[in-house]
Amino acid sequence: MDSALFYIVVALGVSTVLNLFLKRLGVSQIIGYILTGTILVYAFDLRDMNNSATLEHVGEFGIVFLMFTIGLEISFRKMSSMKTEIFFNGTMQVGFTALIVYAITHYVFELESVSAIIVSLAFALSSTAVVLSYLKSSKEIYNPYGQRATGILIFQDIAVIPILIFLSFLTSEGHQSVAVILQDTVVSAVIVMILMFVVGKRVMTWLLHFSASSEVDELFMGSVLFIVIGASLLASYMGFTYSLGAFVAGMIIAETKYHHKVETDIAPFKDILLGTFFIIVGMKVDVFYFINNIGIIIGIFLLVLILKSIIMYLLLRITSSHMLSLKTALALSQVGEFSFVIFAVASVGGLLDKELESLLVLVVIFSMMVTPFFISKINKLVSHVTHHEYLGLDTSDFVSRKNHVIVCGYSIIGKFVAKNLDEMGAPYVIIDNSPKHVQEALAEGKEAYLGDMSKLSLLEALHAESSAAIIVTLDNIDKKRAVCETVLKHTKDINLIVKVATLEDKNNLQDLNITSLVDSKLEIGRVLVERMMTCKLKY
């Protein structure tokens, strides 16, 4: 027990120092956690612990809490609107990537068929932990490419279940027929859905209601932890992944009024456990084996990155633009953490050679280490490759600017706002996340920039605290709320005017300290009555 506490203290100390140093260099904290795991293993000779089942379970709960927070972002209504991103794009991506990787590994590299199948299924998956962590922290999860990437990652997490079932059938211990396995899986899925959506939904709502009514934060936090871990264990007991159960629980809570509070309260647990997950990933690094095979590892990684990017780009072009397809393809070009599970299950079942497993695990780790550096540069890289006009802003322009109006969104309402500001002679700047809208504004001679107003760095660059007002004209309620939360986090002393179109929108924003919510339907009704009052009566 004393030694375990010692290792925990050392891990906390090393990861904190490393991440403070890496943060100054602009490097993702994921790298710091992976390096911490590697340092611990070699400093205290813990190589016998890097395959510990207990540590694996603790680390996996980092993914569990991440998937729970993603579930909070994606309600059933939103998931229904993302059918194309999740089911069409996801199915096409996993299916075609697995087929092409199989063909290359089997016919070009001459791997025997079972090993080739395992490699193809593992390499078809991307890193939920790395990609979603970045998309959430950068707020790009609300962008079109972020939505597509999120949808595909959700499908990949669902796809892990049939992949593991397939592997269990391939192992020597799998005596049951495919039909029996599929039947058991369907029955388990139905039971889980009934328990989660019929019983679980009522229990979750009741727990959150009474724990919130108590006004004791510890009770509310305890209720949330019970829900997350309980849903995960239920899914695992029925043969599914922990993370899928947590994801469904998040989706159920997303339909309640508590989802914003739950997301805020759960964040520290998610971050700590994600850090633990990456420390365990770092513990798997065999430094000497990596050095001896560095050329092969980098070569395989580059081949996978290029191949997945090309496949995904071509598939996404069916439904998306060139820029959007390229960004999404590059964001998901790495190999993900569920590959560890696939390789481990295959190796234990005698389906994969131990040396090949060691090599493939290092390829996955290398991929996850490189991705944080790479993914943050995607926007600039795509702009450079496609020679698309860079629409960034020069922050020096705003240093001395005061009492300017910031218009967030330049669709139909945004255009009318700009027109009225022009008539008043008020200085303003337009920020929009759509290159098309920004190009339109620039063509009309207006000052406009491409950017996401839910990013704190953009508000700092715009000197939002010195502005006269921020007018939010966006239609998407999730993006609208994200912008409002970031603005109010940046400065409380600001005039924030937000357009709402429905009662649901108004209720969703009611808990925020917004200066003025402008109900478009209410205003139209008021104007109609005003116009009626100015009309001459007909006799």
List, for residues 159-204, the tens digit of each pLDDT value: 877 787 777 667 644 455 656 666 766 777 777 777 777 777 788 8
Q: Is domain 395-534 annotated with CATH 3.40.50.720?
A: yes
The share of the chain scoring above pLDDT 90, in percent, equals: 12
> What separation in angstroms does the CA of 244 have from each of 63, 160, 207, 340, 345?
10, 10, 21, 17, 19
Q: In sequence order, what are the residues at sequence separation of 6 or more whose Cβ sits closer than 8 angstroms to the Cβ of residue 61?
A: 229, 232, 242, 273, 276, 277
For the domain spanning 50-386, the CATH number is 1.20.1530.20
Q: Which residues of the chain have pLDDT under 50?
A: 1, 172-174, 390-391, 539
pLDDT for the residue numbered 1: 47
What's the pLDDT at 139?
66
Decide: 135 and 149 in contact? Cβ < 8 Å.
Answer: yes
Task: Indicate if the alpha-carbon torsion angle 377, 379, 380, 382 is positive or negative.
Answer: positive
H or E element, residue 151:
helix 144-170
Ranges of H-type helices in 25-104:
29-43, 53-73, 76-81, 83, 89-103
Per-residue pLDDT at 302: 94
Q: Given strand 405-408, what is the order of strands in its sheet?
A: 448-450, 428-432, 405-408, 469-472, 496-500, 516-519
Nearest to 386 by CA among 326, 435, 338: 326
pTM: 0.65
Give kind and range of the element (H or E) at residue 470: strand 469-472
Angle at 159 (CA atoms; ends 28, 340), nearest 5 degrees: 50
Mind listing the pLDDT tens digit for each residue in 325-341? 888 999 999 998 788 77
Interatomic CA distance for residues 151 and 427, integer angstroms = 39
- Are the CB atoms for 256 and 203 separated by under 8 Å? no
CA–CA gap between residue 348 and residue 417 (Å, rounded)? 63
Name the residue ranges covered by the structural domains of the chain: 50-386, 395-534
Q: At what angle do helices 217-237 and 259-283 cross, to 10 degrees?
A: 60
User: pLDDT for 20-56, tens place per residue?
Assistant: 888 777 667 778 888 888 888 888 877 666 566 666 6
Average of per-residue pLDDT values in the chain: 80
Pick from 39, 18, 29, 85: nearest CA to 62: 29
